[in-house]
Structure 1
């Protein structure tokens, strides 16, 4: 495949950031995109809603279905997936992008924050994947893409934010397990993680302009596109890193992705120099 034209993507957390960038890249091919996220009303801290994202997708050449969805709610997840499949005639791709972040040490992590990360990151990924499987099994070249890191048991990745790391690694473990379970049905399941910090509103909200030291979400969108256009029976169970994916696709100039021209982008968590 060299296009996502006509494909239906169910993307969680697609109202902004990386999720929206992936949606817009698919829309340029003429894809159908389900914008499944919580934000229906503007938030001054985190700009973008499911409706503004849907408008941008349609302006880019795709078709959009905005759905208010809390991925922690099993009943709501199943209803949203059913509605999406009925609206577009099926689901070809699931992108598990919705995620909560809190980089606190264990002593400073409240039960509420812990539960939020586990429920959105782990439970949400599992519930959305489970709900989409029956539709993916009927699709041509079906994919699940989980935005989670390669797993390293180096203690340094746990020392300062054990709860967050555990939740993100659990997402990766789900990707690995689902890849093995669904291989026979031809459903690819892979994980994708950025090599550098990605400038998103969510990152800036927790990190005070950290995004200026990274790259734009478009690098993740382009990497996701390359993964999702591969043969699902040939590429599964992999932990991809955006820059590596693009280098293998022939990209050599990464300057256009820089937030601050001429800067050296900061490595993201879970990436070795």
Structure 2
């Protein structure tokens, strides 16, 4: 006979009763196992350590797998965030780069100008023959003749024949002057001839302009002279125009008697140059006369 529905109690279900009974059994088993482990830890430490390591051996793979799953799940939001916002971040970085690139180029230009002007100032302070520092406002780098124009003339003390140089080397010499301008004959002009000497052995030579931006180095008073690529030539002071020791050119190709060379100073890359006084070596002292015997 089935009991009425209104008389059913919470524990009337067999399934619920079995569940409660199983819970009690597990609780009692847990207490017993805990008590056994407690007693083993106190009275049999080696046995307890073995049991602990056995449990750890069984649980470590599961713990490692769970850790890997948790790390993978934690990476997913970052990956989604990076994938969603990568395009916007890329566009922002491109905009910042477009703003920074002109500033970087300007900073490099300023640094280069500062280094070059500092060398020019050092040259002016070191050379006592300096007349003035002037700007090279133009140069004829593409025509058959090689001239440059300075923005300083007679009012600044510039006179024809004065050498013009840059920190890198000799530029040329002044050929015409006005009140506030001067015309400079560049080394590469075909009418330019500069006495030079080789730095490693003092070999005299002539640096002659070719009209194409380069120079010819020609031997003087000698034949079968061997020039090597990379030989350096400086002014020798012969002729009385240029101070000795100003860098002039470097040999581009090896050869005999006459070789191609490149000047150190490139007028098309200069904006300032120094005008110096004409170098006039002192004449040799007259030989001392022997003292006449007194009568």
Give yes or no for TM over 0.5. no
Which band: TM-score by shorter chain?
Answer: under 0.3
TM-score by length of 2: 0.23
Higher RCO (CA < 8 A, seq sep 6+):
1
